[in-house]
Structure 1
């Protein structure tokens, strides 16, 4: 039997509200292939496939000094993060709006959010706590707490189901950036495409060792016949964005150092075809992958070029409501707003290109020649993914793009139900995209 998660754990991937998004716009189209009968997609190929002109020299990660918050940030002022004492508070001193004495977290316990003004959001608090999806609580005393997951992290291993072998590697030891490396069954001298996988979790939780991600990357490696590096980037709020972007960029630069066969990691030297490197990310990881691909369009990866990118339901948002699937109610839109401000230390607003790429005047510089965007009909970010592809088509970007929609599914279904018909069909689609000859 393959690994299967309870529906509740989908909450840990993004938001519990995702499954309650509008169920309108049902798709009645079908195909003769039973494995893909609930899938639809279109392919976009520009008439001119020539490479874009070389962009201006990359100036490094965006400076926080150049970012400003939009009008949506006026009630949140500014966050300053300071880790709290991880010891449990005494029950006798506990008051409403404080973390419970038996609280726990995946990373470093509770975190004090200084200068956070909770007053405008008090109607959303229940018993002194505001639940953000299934992975984070914010208390009236301006304390953030990660919610402990039901499943423990899993170690690297040989997976008897897929034949995939994995191990953990250090990428940038001084910054604590690590990853999990996977290799498929191979024959002597065989080279494989490389997938650099960026996990989701709302920028604040999850890792390469989370069971749903370890399981899915195993399946992807086996089905697509690729090597994969699943990146453990540093997370908010202790490390607000753009730290996750920088860490993932550093992981790509580390990979590129192996392109001449003399890097520090033997598996990359021995098994990777560096002409076929793909970025893949889901949810918040999709947001990270996109932003790193933007940097790749403006800087060199030490002789290595990205061959393409796959985004699963990327976490994009904006100040204004778009489409039919986004929630319109105050509670859910405010939850997204708070998540973003917690993730960025409030240096940017909801319409910043980090979160809303359709507002990016440099979108045409996206540094991949091929792109596959995968969305689900019953999720609140569905329209953001579609609008993103439309903006790319009109931006002047010269790549080849495909939008792929799965009907009657919700956010992260490929992780929560990896053995389901829809997830298997999506895995086949992604594998075909990666292995397609340019």
Structure 2
């Protein structure tokens, strides 16, 4: 389940209407009724998003979240759909438009680049999208910016604005401008970068090569197989180009998909990469073996009284010293919150492993066997000065990670 902001908001008439529509949607007894409620909900959401009124949406989500999970998910799905896609009339023709993201997993002991993309690279990436991912007749506009996660749109209303601005660029033939005043990116050993594009096609036509009606060279294959082939070709052809944008980094490209799905997949897939990068970085920087590292795993929650685990924080120390020198956050998504315990038999299939099983297996694969787990559910606390998460040390105290003073300088700024 996706969670709303913790900041309380005013519950307005618009918020009340959104909750009513979401509740009616989940109570619908037929597909026709569902579509009728979806239509009403979309109308109301588009009005709010177009006028950049994010607060009533957030307030409605907060109202539903505690004890109306089905209605909350229904509203969140509708909000995401309305902010990343639309149907637009232009010169008497109806077009479907969709904002997509192309996640790139990157890891390095140096810095991970972000920012402007050269025009020739935009043309190359656009050609590869048409060749490997998109259906025929799709027009596309790529944003000339390589985004870090904290540079992406901050709200659904911001996402809606970006999607419409890029759609107009496609329909009018104008270039998409770079993101203005992008914030500085925090340095991490492993992080996700995103390419964004808007797809525009006459209404009712397919957007992706794996959809029904999209002519491909593997027309008899299943949708899943077409997706797998598209990803394989995308990675093979685009990785050398993206490597030029991210010098000094190892990279892995994920499948380009609808904006919110792709962003969530990027968030999930960077977690094991971050853990491996931390183990390698600490071992090489401190000139020790991974087996000399001690790991303390803490369970953290925004609301500890709810007994729900929102994320694991994995603190590293050397040997039996109590000081946490580095930390990795492993957030939980969707059903992971309900399956966070280790079972009696640890699954070997990553699809069936719980998050805690994945963490333990990854640490052992890295050569780390000195692992301590706290049973306590900690509150999610952060440093007031730098915003870094606090981690549980071996004694169960929440502390700021600090590298030893005699650590050799790395090729990047201080990592959290």
Higher RCO (CA 8 Å, separation ≥ 6 residues) = 1
Question: Which protein shows a greater Rg?
Answer: 2
TM-score over 0.5 for the pair: no
Q: Normalization by structure 2: what TM-score?
A: 0.30
Q: Normalization by structure 1: what TM-score?
A: 0.29
